[in-house]
Structure 1
Amino acid sequence: MASIALGQMRRRPAAFAGTAVALFLAVATMTLFGLLFATDVTTPEAVRKEAAGPGLMVIAGAFGEIAVLIAFFVVVNALGFALRQQHRELALLRTIAATPRQTRRLVRGQVVATTLLAAIPGWVIGALAARGLLDELQRRGMAAPDAPVPVVPLPMLIALAAALAVGLAAAAVAARRISRIALADALTASSTEHGRTGAPRLLAGIGALAGGGLLLNLAATRPAEQLDKAGQAALLGSLVLLVAVALTGPLAARLLVAALGAPVRALAPGAGWLADANLRGYARRLSSAVVPVALLVGLSGTMTIMTSTAGHAAGGTASSVTSDTDVWLRQAELVLLTCFAAVSTVNTLIAVTADRRREFALLRLLGATRPQLLRMLTAEAVLTAAVGVLLGAAVAVAASAAFSSAATGSAVPHVPVADCGWIVAGAVALTVPCILATGLRAVRGPAADLVGGSRD
């Protein structure tokens, strides 16, 4: 099984490269904040008192709890898609007498190998980032000037163990369906996509939606002197709502495409019709592409609107939410979260589009030209971006409204239109070029050869 697992990883480098990047980010993030936590623990009390502000432990906790959750969200999304790309190969193994236990063992082996490959660079970058962030905090007087980053292996080992645990859990969920279906159904299942969202997944999505609502209610009911806690609850609530979007993604994406597809079909009757049919017919594939776009827009929009609302509520007076130090911390957190979401978006879109080489080849054999395929992809890219932006914007509006209720007593937040416009433009600029650039590469080569078997 080990040789088969490594062989499949070599055959699908794009899919596992995305998973490796996601795991690298998770390990690096946990190493970064773990080392900051260790710095605070190993610094003498007398030295810690020299620093102003909340302290390294509080900063590491405030940054880390959201950043680590987002990193794991990215890992689960990337890994789930990588395993779905192997659906046919895993089905073939089932038809030649591979047992469900052997199939799951193969998937676990791939996860372990990918995590170990990502661990060392993750540790290195995490340690360098910890040193850089500590230097910046010391320069701003928020950390003791003589506090060094300790050379201890425990944060790195915890980061590796946590990444492995999340990866194996995600692999178990993703491999469950293909390892449990009957042998006679394995190949048929590998070539089609079920149109319905399963009841357990839908129930989990409803549960996540309810949990996000409870967190937003908690944020909205915080008193004015606890705006920092309201902000953390609102940001965590937005992440839980994005988990609900991921779980109910196929259903939500299909409904939005049905609503948005009509104008696209009217503007481009041929390519628009085909793009609309593709997106609605392959809702799970669409959901894989939409979720990272929604993550990017939802988190960035929430942070941007919350910061603007806090500043507007303070009216220019220095407070715990508008001081220069706190603004810098919020901006740093926004940059970090945006980087995670952008990496997830690029990884997923490239992998989703590259996996369609055989589909494009079949269309070419049926008479479609490369320009026609690119027009279809353009329409799909526009629809994908629009669905992702709408879902992310809905999450950002709900979270920032809850925070605004705590900050101003009104559910109407202060929206920086220009900044939000840049967020939308950035999401579109990532989505459309990624899909088109990967599509250009995917339509190259003889169509007959691609249909015949090669998908690399």
Structure 2
Amino acid sequence: MFGLALRSLRHRAGGFLATFVSMVFGAAMVMAFASLLDTAMGDGVPSTSRTSLVTMATVVGGWGLIMVVFSVTSTLTLVVRQRGDEMALLKQVGATPMQIGRMIVVETAVVALAAGLAAILPAALAGRGLLSLLVSSKRVDGGIHFAFGPYALGIGLGVTFTAAITAAVIAVRGTVRTRAAESLRNAATGDARMSRKRKAAAVFFLVLGASLAVTTATAMRGKGSDAMQTAGQTSIWVSIGLALAGPVLIGRVTAALARPLERMGGVPAYLTVQYVRRRAGRLAGTLMPIILFTGIATGTLYMQSIENAATAASGAVATADEKTIETLNFTVIGMLVVFSAIMLINTLVAAMTYRQSESARQRLVGVTPGQVLRTVIVEGVILTLLGVVSGAVAGLFTIVPYSIARTGHALPDIGAGTYLAVVAAAAVLTLGTGVGAALRTIRVPAVEAVTR
């Protein structure tokens, strides 16, 4: 199966591109923050600067690690699901589930190794940039020598490889255990059902977020910016919980909007409703980065705005620790924006590449390229609206408790401009990428696309 895996990689390089890009950026991000640990352990680093470097590496890098694992798992699961028909055919010609699983794991290991090596140079440049940011913002003393050594390489390569293999094992377990006939049927019709483990994980993260929200509004009330320790995590866990519940959210919303969309949108809306109903499980991978981006960005930005307003109202001057926290928050947002954008673009491009032959068959039976494009637009609008609304709900789990803890009021006296900006960014990323990928797809002649 090792030889088969290598041949599969060679002939399906485009199919693994999204996974490779996610791993490269994920590994680069983890290495960049881990390099701050190498820098902190250098000779002559003052204790205050060492504390700031370690805090930045562990806190922000820790959340980045969670995002990397989640992104790699999501992207790889999408790729494996898209190969359901291929694996079903392998079963029909005699391949065992264990052999197919080993093939996917070997493919993933090779991609992870290549991605980790490709990430070293950009990670070193990003790590140096992070140190410069900390120096320029007076969080770290000047003159500290940047180091990129065992912490960066060990943590970066180890996390990337471990996350990739774990994601591969998770992705193939359900696929290889089904029988060949069932695999072919699932590949043709899709599957919107959620596994018990996914349901349990979604409930766990939602309950965790809710419990932290209650803790923030009660136990952390009156403790100043220390409430960020619990409030900052809340929108992240709730966003992950809602993202895991994506298939159910998509199914329920599509069912509610089916008739109005079909009446108003004609053929494109009808095709979109039918596709979304059958492929809710796969489209959940596209919904995930929208929810994560909107929820975490909204929660963190408003939390920092509440803190700034509370500090100004009290007439106090922000301490060095509070400024460090502000730098951490905005660094998290910057990291989130970049990584979520990459995750979203990768997912959309991978999904549209997979649907190339499907859209070609639609054109062969009379659907015009314009109708195919409008179908993608309607689908993108549905996913964007569902994503930003779910993200807003996740953000409220941080905003409301933190506002109660810091001001005594459930809702802060802050406008909706920040949320609208986040929504606009999510819409541009989703619709822009989806339409761009669809345009490239319909430019290929239908007969040629079907044979690819």
TM-score, normalization by structure 1: 0.91
Partners of 1:19 and 1:203 in 2: how far apart? 26
1:129 Cα deviation (Å)?
1.4
Partners of 1:337 and 1:433 in 2: how far apart? 19
Aligned position for 1:196: 193
Partners of 1:12 and 1:261 in 2: how far apart? 36
1:141 Cα deviation (Å)?
2.8
Structure 2 residue corresponding to 1:86, chosen from 83, 87, 92: 83
Partners of 2:322 and 2:33 in 1: how far apart? 23
Asked if structure 1 preserves the Cα contact closer than 8 Å seen for 2:26 and 2:68, the reply is: yes
Aligned position for 2:266: 269
After TM superposition, the structure 1 = structure 2 runs for residues 1-400 of structure 1, keeping only pairs within 5 Å, are: 1-44=1-44, 47-49=45-47, 51=49, 55-223=52-220, 226-315=223-312, 317-320=316-319, 326-400=325-399
Asked if structure 2 preserves the Cα contact closer than 8 Å seen for 1:54 and 1:142, the reply is: no
1:48 Cα deviation (Å)?
1.0
Secondary structure in 2 matching 1:147:
coil
Aligned position for 1:431: 430
1:74-101 deviation digits (Å, cap 9, x = unpaired): 1111111111122111221121111111
Asked if structure 1 preserves the Cα contact closer than 8 Å seen for 2:243 and 2:292, the reply is: no
Distance 1:138 1:448, change over 3 A: closer
Partners of 1:127 and 1:151 in 2: how far apart? 6
1:32-51 deviation digits (Å, cap 9, x = unpaired): 2221122223344xx41475
Asked if structure 2 preserves the Cα contact closer than 8 Å seen for 1:296 and 1:392, the reply is: yes
Asked if structure 2 preserves the Cα contact closer than 8 Å seen for 1:306 and 1:400, the reply is: yes
The percentage of aligned residue pairs carrying the same residue is 28
1:184 Cα deviation (Å)?
3.9
Asked if structure 2 preserves the Cα contact closer than 8 Å seen for 1:311 and 1:321, the reply is: no
Secondary structure in 1 matching 2:194:
coil
Secondary structure in 1 matching 2:123:
helix
1:177-232 deviation digits (Å, cap 9, x = unpaired): 12112244332333221232222322222122212222323333353565544324
1:105-139 deviation digits (Å, cap 9, x = unpaired): 11111111111111123222222211121122223
Asked if structure 2 preserves the Cα contact closer than 8 Å seen for 1:349 and 1:434, the reply is: yes
Distance 1:408 1:10, change over 3 A: farther
Partners of 2:74 and 2:168 in 1: how far apart? 11
1:308-365 deviation digits (Å, cap 9, x = unpaired): 1112222353235996554344323211111111111111111112211121122112
Deviates more, 1:89-98 or 1:54-63: 54-63
Aligned position for 1:443: 442
Partners of 1:81 and 1:218 in 2: how far apart? 36
Secondary structure in 2 matching 1:42:
coil
Partners of 2:330 and 2:184 in 1: how far apart? 49
Distance 1:227 1:252, change over 3 A: farther
Asked if structure 2 preserves the Cα contact closer than 8 Å seen for 1:360 and 1:373, the reply is: yes
Deviates more, 1:16-25 or 1:213-222: 213-222
TM-score, normalization by structure 2: 0.92
Instruction: Return the letter of the residue paired with 2:46.
Output: R
Distance 1:207 1:170, change over 3 A: same
Partners of 1:226 and 1:32 in 2: how far apart? 33
Asked if structure 1 preserves the Cα contact closer than 8 Å seen for 2:38 and 2:148, the reply is: no
Partners of 2:322 and 2:174 in 1: how far apart? 51
Asked if structure 1 preserves the Cα contact closer than 8 Å seen for 2:384 and 2:430, the reply is: yes
Partners of 1:8 and 1:415 in 2: how far apart? 53
Partners of 2:92 and 2:320 in 1: how far apart? 60
